Amino acid sequence: MDVLALSRLQFAVTAMFHFIFVPLTLGLSWLVAFMEWRYVRTGDVQYLRMTKFWGKLFLINFALGVVTGIAMEFQFGMNWAEYSRYVGDIFGAPLAIEATLAFFLESTFIGVWIFGWNRISKRLHAVSITIVAFATNLSALWILFANGWQQHPVGYVLKNGRAEMVDFMALLTNPNGISKFLHTTVSGYVIAAFFVMGISAWHILKKSELPVFKKSFRYAAVFGLAATLAVALTGDMEGVNVSKTQPAKLAAMEAHWETQKSAPITLFAVPDPDNERNLVEFVKLPYLLSLMGYHDPNAEVKGLKAFPREDRPPVTPVFASFRLMVGLGSLFILIAAIAVFLSWKERIESSPLFLKLMVLMIPLPYIAAWLGWMVAEIGRQPWIVYGLLRTSEGVSKNVDLAQVIGSLAGFTVLYGALAAVDIYLIVKFAKKGPDANTDSIVKMTRA
């Protein structure tokens, strides 16, 4: 493997590790805020115990997410200096706003929330975690605006071999950035919902703290059903944007080779024995690709043969990842709907097989989110900035193979250790359950 391939692998490894922590933070922050507001409004100490229990898991995840996120950004200067030079004027703006506005906002108020127990009023304390939840999602907004610009560059001019911003509002209103933000954040909500349902299901099976965990399960189930439906809706938005701005990616997602109207969706495909193509369509459903991409069953969809071979993304990983992602998303809708039904009918405690399934479901939304990013990023290839800068042109010129191997090994070991610490701590405190001593925590009674 050369410097380019290893640099891409290193960024993929660090991004995937970082994305273990980010999506859970996006959704769990809102659930913790909801639980604390329920305590403020009802005075029911069970909601306070829920807040502290899920808040502890949130803090573990948040701390490790910050560490992995900061380290990941160093690669822009280490491995991707030419990319940074080319787009620094544009890409740097949303990242700077994210750091100076969203990150400092969430960091400040998470400190207030951690150290403010029994020191500030109940309402102010609940406000602090609400601001954390808002700021965490605001942080994602700016990062995904930057990614949306990579997917569909707007509001720039090329000057002296660099892209320079001329219209900041174009970046803010870029449909790719908006749909990317919506789809990514609600997928994080799905992860948080299944995380809470899975841990709650484990405790319900153990007959442990039933009042706390039956409530947690019910709220997470409703939150999860809404989030899974929102994922489907925002996924449709993503499909329309891809068809307009990245038609080669759309063709790769469906192994669609020939340009045609009323294009079908390919359910299955097989490798082509003559190696002329990555995959050959096998089972098709007529009209659906045109309908998915353009909301018109008669629309023309470009095939991969319409693009030069060097501009086509790798078909097999994009095709397979897209199908697995959609399949898992459909499963999540079904499971969340069943969870809502059983919970509100007070039948969840008497459904041990479903509870065991919910425990096993915890990692699947993470996998679905990773698959979604594989579709987005592998499907963008061979471009690092779509249509402007190839990935091969963005890699650093003065980095040798040994340096990349060393940094890749270092990041892999570091991030692997952090992931192990995260899993160990979350499993440890998740099994422990909420604090049984309520006397100390009920002190927070000031209005």
pLDDT of 153 higher than 70: yes
Residue 21 Cα to chain centre, angstroms: 9
Which of 174, 130, 168 lies closest to 151, judged by CA? Answer: 174
Q: How many CA atoms lie within 13 A of 52 on its CB side?
A: 19
Burial (CB count within 10 angstroms: exposed 0-12, middle 13-18, buried 19+), residue 105? middle
What percentage of the chain has pLDDT greater than the value 70?
Answer: 93
Highest mean pLDDT (candidates 58-67, 357-366, 394-403):
357-366
Task: Tally the residues of the chain.
Answer: 447
Domain positions in the chain are 3-259+302-439
For 186-233, write each residue's pLDDT tens digit: 999 999 999 999 999 999 988 888 888 889 999 999 999 999 999 999
Mean residue pLDDT of the chain comes to: 84
Give the predicted TM-score (pTM) of the model.
Answer: 0.88
Is residue 225 within 8 A of residue 331, CB to CB? The reply is no
Q: What percent of the chain has pLDDT over 90?
A: 20
CB 279 within 8 A of CB 315: yes
In whole angstroms, give the CA distance from residue 420 to residue 248.
38
The answer for residues whose C-beta is within 8 angstroms of residue 137's C-beta and 6 or more apart is: 26, 29, 185
The pLDDT of residue 3 is above 90: no
What pLDDT sits at residue 417? 83
pLDDT of residue 270: 58
**Least confident among 207-216, 247-256, 271-280, 364-373:** 271-280
Range 203-235 burial, b when 16+ CB lie within 10 A, else e: bbeeeebeebbbbbbbbbbbbbbbbbbbbeebb
Q: For residues 386 and 382, what is the distance between their CA atoms, to the nearest angstrom?
A: 8
The answer on pLDDT for 439 being more than 80 is no
State yes or no: pLDDT of 310 exceeds 90.
no
Look at the block and give the residue holding tokens 């273990």: 20
Q: Choose among 88, 92, 184: nearest CA to 137.
A: 184
List pLDDT tens digits, range 76-98: 777 788 888 888 888 888 888 88
- Beta-bridge mates of residue 279: 271
pLDDT, average across residues 322-335:
92
Looking at residues 49-72, what average pLDDT do you find?
82
Chain position carrying tokens 């329309």: 240
CA–CA distance, 411 with 316 (Å, rounded to integer): 28
Helix, strand, or coil (residue 349): coil
Q: Measure the CA–CA gap between 384 and 386, rounded to whole angstroms.
A: 6
Q: What is the spatial distance between Cα 155 and Cα 370, in angstroms, rounded to a whole number?
A: 29
Pseudo-torsion of CA 377, 380, 385, 390, nearest 10°? Answer: 110
Q: How far apart are CA 139 and CA 181, in angstroms?
A: 10
